[in-house]
Amino acid sequence: GQSPADAENNYLRVASSLDMYGVELHKASVKVSNTNDKLHNSKVELYIGVCASGISVFQNSTKANTFLWDQITKISFKRRTFYVQLIKNPDSSDDNSIVFTLRNYRCCKYLWKSCVDHHTFFRLTSVPSSSKKFFPFTNKLRHRLNTDIVPNTLLMETNERREKKFQRISSRRSSRSGNNSSTLPITSMTNNFSIIKNSNLSLSSSNLSIPKFDKPLSPPPKPPRQSYKSSLTNSALIEANEYKPKNATLPRENFQNLLSNSSSMSCVNTNSILIKLTPDVDGRYGFNIKGGEDEQTPTVVSKVAYNTPASRASIHEGDIILAINNIDIRNHTHEEIINMIRYSRERPFGELELVIKSKDENNSLENSLQILRNDLTTNRLTEQYETLERRKNGFTFEISSNQTNYYYNRYKDVLPYDQTRVILKNNIENDYINANYINMPIISTDIVNRYIATQGPLPTTCEAFWQMIWEQECTLIIMLTTLFESGRIKCHQYWPNVSETNDYGLFTIRCTRERKENELMYREFIFLNKEINEERIIYQIQNEIWPDHGVPNDYVSFVDFVLEIRELRKANKHLPILVHCSAGIGRTGVLILMETALCLMENNQSVFPLNIVRQMREQRLGMIQTASQYQFACEAVLYAYDHGLIEINGN
H or E segment to which residue 398 belongs = helix 398-401
Is the residue at 648 inside a domain? no
Same domain (yes/no): 72, 173 = yes
H or E segment to which residue 563 belongs = helix 555-569
Is the residue at 411 inside a domain? yes
- Is the pLDDT at 475 greater than 50? The verdict is yes
Give the mean pLDDT of 462-481.
96
Q: Which residues contact 632 (CB under 8 A, 6 or more apart)?
A: 551, 552, 590
- Secondary structure letter of residue 393 according to DSSP: T
- Please, are residues 567 and 466 in contact by the beta-carbon 8 Å criterion? no
pLDDT at res. 227 = 37
Q: Are strands 534-543 and 476-479 parallel, antiparallel or unpaired?
A: parallel
pLDDT at res. 568 = 92
pLDDT per residue as tens digits for the range 566-579: 999 988 889 999 99
Same domain (yes/no): 12, 93 = yes
pLDDT at res. 111 = 85
User: Angle 32-34-36 (CA atoms, 0-180°, nearest 5)?
Assistant: 170
pLDDT at res. 434 = 97
Q: Which of 327, 362, 397 is the last residue of a domain?
A: 362
Is the residue at 598 inside a domain? yes
| Closest-CA residue to 41 (of 211, 201, 239) | 239
Angle between helices 555-569 and 586-602 (to 10 degrees): 70
CA distances, 325 to each of 192, 321, 329, 340 (Å): 24, 11, 10, 8
Which three-class secondary structure state does DSSP give residue 612?
Answer: helix
- Secondary structure letter of residue 136 according to DSSP: G
- Is the pLDDT at 381 greater than 70? The verdict is yes
Structure-model confidence comparison of residues 569 and 141, the more confident one:
569
Q: Are strands 488-489 and 501-504 parallel, antiparallel or unpaired?
A: unpaired
pLDDT at res. 55 = 87
- Please, are residues 424 and 471 in contact by the beta-carbon 8 Å criterion? yes
Per-residue pLDDT band at 303 (split at 50, 70, 90): confident
Q: Which of 362, 389, 423 is the last residue of a domain?
A: 362
Is the residue at 258 inside a domain? no
Same domain (yes/no): 391, 458 = yes
Is the residue at 194 inside a domain? yes
Per-residue pLDDT band at 217 (split at 50, 70, 90): very low
Give the mean pLDDT of 537-558.
90
| Closest-CA residue to 481 (of 451, 440, 520) | 520
Q: Which amino acid is at 563?
A: L
CA distances, 309 to each of 284, 314, 498, 534 (Å): 8, 9, 66, 58
DSSP per position, 30-99: EEEE-SS-TTSEEEEEEEEEE-SSEEEEEETTEEEEEEETTTEEEEEEETTEEEEEEPPPTT--S--EEE
Sign of CA dihedral 253, 255, 259, 260: negative
* Chain centre distance of CA 14: 42
Is the residue at 515 inside a domain? yes
CATH number, domain with residue 565: 3.90.190.10
| Closest-CA residue to 509 (of 539, 482, 481, 485) | 539
**Cα atoms in the Cβ-side hemisphere of radius 13 Å centred on 630:** 27
Q: Are strands 272-277 and 81-86 parallel, antiparallel or unpaired?
A: unpaired
> Mean pLDDT across the chain, nearest whole number?
76
Same domain (yes/no): 12, 49 = yes
Give the mean pLDDT of 578-605.
94
Structure-model confidence comparison of residues 587 and 121, the more confident one:
587
- Secondary structure letter of residue 244 according to DSSP: -
Residue 603 φ then ψ, to 5°: -100, 15
| pLDDT-above-90 percentage for the chain | 35
Same domain (yes/no): 119, 235 = yes
pLDDT at res. 70 = 80
Domain coverage including residue 188:
4-250
Same domain (yes/no): 354, 406 = no
Same domain (yes/no): 444, 534 = yes
Least confident of 182-191, 470-479, 546-555, 614-623: 182-191
- Please, are residues 454 and 462 in contact by the beta-carbon 8 Å criterion? no
Give the mean pLDDT of 525-534.
94
pLDDT per residue as tens digits for the range 392-414: 989 999 999 999 999 999 999 99
Same domain (yes/no): 489, 381 = yes
| Closest-CA residue to 277 (of 328, 326, 315, 249) | 315
- Please, are residues 506 and 467 in contact by the beta-carbon 8 Å criterion? yes
Per-residue pLDDT band at 12 (split at 50, 70, 90): confident
Is the residue at 542 inside a domain? yes
pLDDT at res. 204 = 33
Domain count, the chain: 3
Is the residue at 255 inside a domain? no
- Please, are residues 58 and 25 in contact by the beta-carbon 8 Å criterion? yes
pLDDT at res. 231 = 33
CATH number, domain with residue 354: 2.30.42.10
Angle between helices 609-617 and 627-642 (to 10 degrees): 130
Per-residue pLDDT band at 127 (split at 50, 70, 90): low
| Rounded-to-integer distance, Cα 354 and Cα 273, Å | 8
Same domain (yes/no): 91, 115 = yes
pLDDT at res. 530 = 94
pLDDT per residue as tens digits for the range 318-368: 888 999 998 888 888 899 999 999 888 888 888 899 988 876 544 678 888
Same domain (yes/no): 340, 421 = no
Per-residue pLDDT band at 446 (split at 50, 70, 90): confident
Per-residue pLDDT band at 206 (split at 50, 70, 90): very low
Per-residue pLDDT band at 52 (split at 50, 70, 90): confident
Same domain (yes/no): 485, 618 = yes
Burial class from Cβ neighbours inside 10 Å (0-12, 13-18, 19+) for residue 581 reads: buried
- Is the pLDDT at 159 greater than 60? The verdict is no
Q: Which of 315, 339, 362 is the last residue of a domain?
A: 362
| Rounded-to-integer distance, Cα 285 and Cα 482, Å | 56
DSSP per position, 313-345: TT--TTPEEEEETTEE-TTS-HHHHHHHHHHGG
Same domain (yes/no): 312, 383 = no
- Is the pLDDT at 265 greater than 80? The verdict is no
- Catalytic positions, written as ranges: 581
- Secondary structure letter of residue 137 according to DSSP: G
CATH number, domain with residue 161: 2.30.29.30
